Amino acid sequence: MLTIDLDALDFSPGARVLDLGCGQGRHIHNIYYRAPVHAVGIDLSPEDAALTRDGLTYFPPPAPRTGGVPSAHILVADAARLPFACQAFDIVICSEVLEHIQNYKAALQEITRILKPGGTLALSVPRAWPEWVCWTLSNDYHTSPGGHVRIFNAQALTQDVRNCGFTLTRAHGAHALHVPYWWLKCLFWRRRDTLWLIRLYHKILIWDLTRRPWVTRALEAMLNPFMGKSVVLYFSKGRTT
């Protein structure tokens, strides 16, 4: 399940791409098989980093292609103290990460430091009003270890990134069909893994992701602008920053 539209990013041969907060690897796995780039994934969780690393060996390595051979490396690191040189990356992806970080502005400063002038930042956070409903329905949703520590206002976050020297180039919503699923999980938090209704909805989501029928794809496209669970923002770093 990709939140960032990878087709919107310029994966030029040899580009250096960072998936900051890669989780279990959904974006970096796709990048690795998409283009001959040098991809790096970092996560604060050693367990998630290990799963991402294992996922890179699940399928045969991508064949050499015009522009070189892709590479991928997975590290455990803190988003507020990135172990990279200044201007080390052409693209930074940070999807569904900042809502987990207390000092998210420190992470933005680090992103600014390690991204080349003219580079691209693709960023996503939960949309405010569906997230507020989740917080209202379940206190455990955001107080459990590793949960969300804030609800972002997308306009305020956009301004925070602009203050770091970036220009917003595109914005869209994603995963509208997942919103009712999370509301159900929050409403029935203690039974979220066993309740038949939640399990049925999960099967529908898996069907949608694997089969991509036109009915659900069209419905989500209509709902994403105002009900997408994620707000996805794309920025270009100023060349004088």
Q: Can you give the pLDDT at residue 152?
A: 98
**Helix 196-211, helix 214-227: angle, nearest 10:** 110
Dist. CA 238–CA 87, nearest whole Å: 12
Q: Tokens in use for 62?
A: 């991508």
Expressed as residue numbers, the domain containing 159 is 6-127+139-175+229-237
Residue 71 within any structural domain of the chain: yes
Residue 153 within any structural domain of the chain: yes
Averaged over 32-42, what is the pLDDT?
94
Q: What is the pLDDT of residues 166-175, one digit of tens each?
A: 999 999 999 9
Q: Tokens in use for 118?
A: 């003219």
Decide: residue 214, CB within 10 A, 0-12 exposed, 13-18 middle, 19+ buried: exposed
Residue 81 within any structural domain of the chain: yes
Residue 222 one-letter amino acid: M
Residue 205 within any structural domain of the chain: no
CATH number for the domain that contains residue 18: 3.40.50.150
Q: Tokens in use for 197?
A: 């209704």
Q: What is the pLDDT of residues 175-220, one digit of tens each?
A: 999 999 999 999 999 999 999 999 999 999 999 999 999 999 999 9
How many structural domains is the chain composed of? 1
**Helix 178-187, helix 196-211: angle, nearest 10:** 160
Residue 222 within any structural domain of the chain: no
